[in-house]
């Protein structure tokens, strides 16, 4: 069992505050710390911002395309990957007929005199595996393309060649990678007790990525109201486009055109978010971009002089950016940056958990962080002790409701970490095969052998004890004990996944299994108590919290968070299960009704029934994975 202690970590994260008691009432008044006040010298807390919340690529990419189209000065893109052939705004149809491509949009703006800067992650091994620069790296990954697929690839190849040959003089592309030594140091510092397999160490240390995705438009425009930015989880790759309707076969999504038989298969739905930013926080987005831009020494393999973008933009202050912003949203930009040993995203997660009283909603692509689940229980135990010391009767302590929405692991290698995190919250049986293995391994470990001959090797060696993850976390196999612990702590947990239903009447001949598709969750969203929101590029995994570079926005804004919660929940679970006004009773009833709807949706699949109220939620259940996909 890990020795993670959130209270110990909070001592350096949380700023100590001394609050005088009122002389007449003898009672103090204070407020919770949601921002990293101890890090405000390097990560300023920005008070004057206008934040706008977008669900999925149709909304997010559509807004980005509109802002780029209106740009008159500059466009700065930080990308995990870039696909010149993706269309940001689409109408149904085949590629080439749906809308202007991202590459063409940037080329058009560059010819209008707008300076375009792309900062992209590129690694010799990782990029060849991931194909994150479509048409520039490993075109052979596109299995002997034909037809429309080949047209897309040819478009990408031609665009990159245009960049290299100077056809777009106002477009500059720089690439960067993460030194493995920096990733190793950061992981060891922030997760000192984490044991890893050789494959995990390879992925987290040797193939660490720059996974940030912020956008900055017209930062130096004379009119500060024209400056705008985005913080998001969306990658600038065509697969990440989808609408919040998550239509089973939406012809606005990309298709795989099959060579061995006629027809095509529309790729699965994708879930993600973006936040549009105006105001002071653009200052921090520029600091992140300009420092990284200046540190790059090559442009697509060509040596270049160290830049001076940060210095040239010094005249733009946070104050000047806030002068035209009256919305008043407060926010802070937090990062994972191994080269600078910056792990403020992980710190912000821990601080936020310490404040949770009513509910926690986490929607995340990779749920690989048992410390996150352990932290919830440790904080809850401390809070419960405080209640009891204050003479509150235990039955009167309000429950904490936890909503978890995650995708199925894409690869068997992703199961152990996901299982460990989910099992910490009493849902290990939603991994039936792995749970059975955990129980069997625990029996082997705890059962005395009949004789010395039972061992294969030295005395004291456990024969075939199962995955190392199970050996290190024997306590997770006892689901009943964990659920008793959660019940005693007053923690109510649900774990859901998302599916889309094929309601096309012509498809009723399909088997029940063929009428449901998983909605792939690429999201990195957490909401707490209608007060706190964090959104960005960071997954709930050690590599996102310490090994890769990541960027999130956090905000302590009840109006923004409650609106986001109502939109997200209403979209996923149905309009009647949005959480209403967010009162304690409404959240409690919504949590219960989510479980009921999840079970009903799942039960109706044997008869090919549509989901209730257009919802997507079903109980999470591990069913196996496909090919490894690192990001």
Which residues of the chain are under the pLDDT cut of 70? Answer: 1-2, 18-30, 138-145, 197-199, 257-263, 301-302, 305-307, 323-324, 445-474, 505-511, 624-631
Alpha carbon 163 to chain centroid distance?
31
- Choose among 269, 286, 350: nearest CA to 320: 286
What is residue 488's predicted lDDT score, i.e. its pLDDT?
95
pLDDT digits (tens, 9 = 90+) for 328-386: 899 999 999 999 999 999 999 999 999 999 999 999 999 999 999 999 999 999 999 98
Retrieve residue 485's tokens: 């612990």
What is residue 456's predicted lDDT score, i.e. its pLDDT?
36
The three-class DSSP label of residue 304 is coil
Retrieve residue 49's tokens: 């911002």
Alpha carbon 568 to chain centroid distance?
15
**What are the distances in angstroms from CA 41 to CA 46, 318, 533, 554?**
12, 14, 22, 16
Please tell me the distance from the alpha carbon of residue 495 to that of residue 598, in angstroms, as a whole number: 10
Strand partners, 193: none
**Burial class for 264, CB neighbours closer than 10 Å (0-12, 13-18, 19+):** middle
What is residue 170's predicted lDDT score, i.e. its pLDDT?
95
What is residue 257's predicted lDDT score, i.e. its pLDDT?
62
Query: What does DSSP assign to residue 101?
Result: B
> In 274-299, which positions are buried (b, 16+ CB within 10 angstroms) versus exposed (e)?
bbbbbbbbbbbbbbbbbebbbebeee
Residue with token string 């749970």 = 435
What is residue 465's predicted lDDT score, i.e. its pLDDT?
42
Please tell me the distance from the alpha carbon of residue 208 to that of residue 543, in angstroms, as a whole number: 8
- Choose among 152, 132, 168, 172: nearest CA to 85: 152
Phi first, then psi: what are they for 448, rounded to 5°?
-65, 140
Q: At what angle do helices 479-489 and 370-389 cross, to 10 degrees?
A: 40
Residue with token string 């048992």 = 370
pLDDT digits (tens, 9 = 90+) for 70-114: 999 999 999 999 999 999 999 998 898 999 999 999 999 999 999
């Amino acid at each position: 069992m890990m020795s993670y202690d959130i209270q110990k970590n909070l001592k350096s994260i949380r700023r100590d505050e001394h609050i005088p008691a009122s002389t007449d009432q003898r009672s103090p008044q204070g407020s919770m710390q949601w921002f990293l006040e101890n890090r405000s010298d390097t990560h300023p807390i920005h008070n004057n911002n206008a934040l706008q919340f977008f669900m999925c690529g149709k909304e997010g990419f559509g807004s980005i395309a509109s802002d780029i189209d209106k740009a008159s000065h500059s466009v700065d893109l930080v990308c995990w990957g870039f696909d010149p052939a993706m269309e940001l705004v689409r109408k149904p149809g085949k590629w080439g007929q749906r809308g202007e491509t991202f590459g063409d949009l940037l080329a058009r703006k560059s010819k209008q005199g707008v300076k375009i800067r792309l900062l992209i992650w590129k690694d010799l091994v990782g990029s060849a595996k991931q194909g994150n620069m479509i048409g520039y790296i490993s075109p052979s990954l596109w299995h002997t393309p034909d037809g429309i697929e080949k047209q897309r690839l040819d478009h990408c190849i031609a665009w990159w060649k245009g960049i290299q040959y100077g056809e777009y003089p106002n477009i500059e592309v720089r690439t960067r990678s993460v030194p493995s030594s920096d990733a190793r140091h950061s992981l060891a510092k922030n997760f000192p007790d984490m044991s890893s397999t050789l494959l995990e160490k390879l992925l987290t240390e040797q193939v660490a990525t720059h996974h940030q995705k912020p956008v900055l438009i017209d930062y130096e425009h004379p009119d500060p109201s024209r400056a705008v930015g985005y913080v998001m989880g969306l990658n600038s790759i065509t697969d990440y486009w989808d609408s919040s309707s998550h239509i089973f076969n939406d012809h606005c999504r990309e298709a795989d055109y099959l060579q061995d038989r006629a027809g095509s298969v529309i790729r699965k739905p994708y879930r993600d978010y973006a936040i549009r930013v105006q105001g002071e926080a653009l200052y921090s987005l520029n600091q992140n971009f300009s420092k990284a831009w200046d540190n790059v020494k090559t442009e697509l393999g060509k040596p270049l002089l160290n830049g001076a973008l940060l210095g040239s933009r010094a005249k733009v202050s946070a104050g000047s950016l806030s002068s035209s912003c009256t919305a008043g949203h407060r926010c802070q930009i937090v990062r994972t940056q191994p080269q600078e040993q910056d792990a403020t995203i992980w710190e912000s997660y821990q601080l936020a958990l310490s404040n949770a009283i009513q509910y926690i909603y986490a929607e995340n692509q990779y749920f690989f962080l048992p410390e996150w689940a352990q932290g919830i229980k440790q904080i809850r135990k401390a809070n419960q002790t405080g209640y009891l010391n204050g003479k509150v009767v235990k039955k009167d302590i309000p429950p904490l409701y936890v909503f978890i929405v995650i995708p199925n692991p894409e690869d068997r290698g992703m199961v152990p970490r996901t299982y460990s995190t989910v099992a910490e919250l009493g849902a290990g049986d939603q991994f039936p095969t792995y749970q059975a293995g955990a129980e069997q391994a625990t029996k082997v470990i705890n059962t005395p052998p009949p004789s010395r001959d039972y061992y294969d090797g030295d005395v004291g060696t456990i024969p075939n004890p199962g995955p190392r993850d199970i050996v290190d976390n024997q306590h997770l196999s006892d689901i009943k004990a964990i659920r008793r612990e959660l019940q005693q702590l007053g923690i109510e947990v649900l774990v859901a996944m998302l599916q889309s239903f094929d309601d096309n009447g012509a498809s009723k001949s399909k088997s029940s299994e063929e009428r449901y598709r998983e909605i792939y969750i690429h999201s990195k969203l957490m909401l707490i108590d209608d007060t706190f929101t964090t959104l960005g590029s960071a997954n709930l995994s050690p590599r996102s919290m310490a090994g890769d570079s990541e960027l999130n926005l956090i905000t302590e804004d009840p109006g923004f968070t409650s609106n986001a919660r109502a939109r997200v929940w209403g979209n996923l679970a149905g309009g009647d299960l949005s959480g209403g006004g967010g009162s304690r009773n409404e959240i409690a009833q919504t949590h219960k009704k989510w479980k009921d709807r999840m079970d009903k949706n799942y039960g109706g699949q044997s008869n090919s029934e549509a989901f209730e109220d257009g919802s997507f939620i079903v109980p999470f259940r591990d069913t196996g994975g496909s090919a490894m996909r690192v990001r």
